[in-house]
Amino acid sequence: MIIDGKQLANEILEGLKSRVEKLKKKKITPHLAVVLVGSNPSSIAYVNQKEIKGQDIGVKVTVKNISTNIGQSQLLKTIEQLNNDNNVHGIIVQRPLPESIDTNKVSLTIKPNKDVDGFHPNSKFQSPIASAVLKILEEIYKSGLPSRHSGERSDSRISLPQRVGWTGRFWTSQNDGFKKWLISKKIVVIGKGETGGKPVIEMFRKMNIEPSIIDSKTPNTQSLTKTAGIIISAVGKPNVVKPEMLKKGVILIGVGLHRGDDGKLHGDYDEEKIKNIASFYTPTPGGVGPLNVAMLLKNLVVAATQTT
């Protein structure tokens, strides 16, 4: 069954809209500053979504477009200016960055209380992409599926009732059942890039869950994927996950994105080929992506609230 990430995101955004209205009555408008280096088409598309959804809920999103020729010291100076602006509540530097820029220094320069992307080691916020993945998994668990819906078509689309698994940086499950369920499923993460696999891996480790990790050097990958109950693929290339790699009933979450020859965004697997194998899977677009944006804006609203 397809997980309707758009619907889940819309529910979160609707809740944020009312919180923003309350903040505005206190003369506070949540303000996200996005630093965009260069003109990478994918980065521009991601930033546009943040602007659109931010506008929908009433927050301010300012995009600073910077040339790829910028020196690192100038970029860090720009970040410091935003750090010192009391009207800015959240700062993100859109990845990927030019190779000449030290991304670690960029992450460390952003104030932890404004680091709504969760890259700073002392950030007050969980990575939005990790929160999005956890949200999907928590909703699958809470729904009690697939047993109740075993008769449904495998391509049916479900939206699940909104529940929150993270408050700021910290996971707050109502009981240990969800965590035990995660452990029982055996989790495999494919890819460990800084914007996808790495934050997801770190999230699980904070929950004292050690996922199996597959990268380009991992031998016998199918022996890992074939026994996995949950696979999170964060590579961004076509056909990373093939049907023969999966066991029946696996939960498949696609984080990686790439633009195909047709000009459209695609995930790490062919949905038509896996839909009758996976018990649940996220589509591209409309899966993890909308939730990622919603979780970022949630972090922003929390950051603005903490200034009151």
Flag whether pLDDT at 183 surpasses 80: yes
- In this prediction, what percent of the chain has a pLDDT beyond 70? 90
At residue 308, the pLDDT reads: 67
Domain co-membership, 136 together with 200: yes
Domain co-membership, 49 together with 183: no
Confidence of residue 175 (pLDDT cuts 50, 70, 90): low
Query: Could you tell me the residue range of the domain that residue 83 belongs to?
Result: 27-112
The answer to whether residue 299 is domain-embedded is no
Domains identified in the chain, total number: 2
Distance CA 242, CA 229 (A): 15
Cβ neighbours for 43, distance < 8 A, ≥ 6 positions apart: 36, 94, 95, 96
Confidence of residue 167 (pLDDT cuts 50, 70, 90): very low
pLDDT tens-digit readout, 26-73: 999 999 999 999 988 878 888 999 999 999 999 999 999 999 888 899
Domain co-membership, 35 together with 178: no
**Could you write out the DSSP letters of every residue in 18-50?**
HHHHHHHHTT---EEEEEEES--HHHHHHHHHH
pLDDT tens-digit readout, 123-159: 999 999 999 999 999 999 988 744 333 333 344 444 4
Cβ atoms of residues 271 and 292 within 8 Å: no
Distance CA 308, CA 294 (A): 22
Domain co-membership, 139 together with 92: no
Flag whether pLDDT at 215 surpasses 90: yes
Domain co-membership, 185 together with 275: yes
Domain co-membership, 238 together with 96: no
The answer to whether residue 295 is domain-embedded is no
Q: What is the mean pLDDT of the chain?
A: 89
At residue 176, the pLDDT reads: 77
Distance CA 221, CA 37 (A): 35
Cβ atoms of residues 266 and 258 within 8 Å: yes
Domain co-membership, 223 together with 98: no
The answer to whether residue 137 is domain-embedded is yes
pLDDT tens-digit readout, 265-275: 899 999 999 99
Domain co-membership, 140 together with 285: yes
Q: Which residue matches tokens 């949200």?
A: 135
The CATH number that applies at residue 71 is 3.40.50.10860
Cβ atoms of residues 241 and 225 within 8 Å: yes
Domain co-membership, 106 together with 222: no
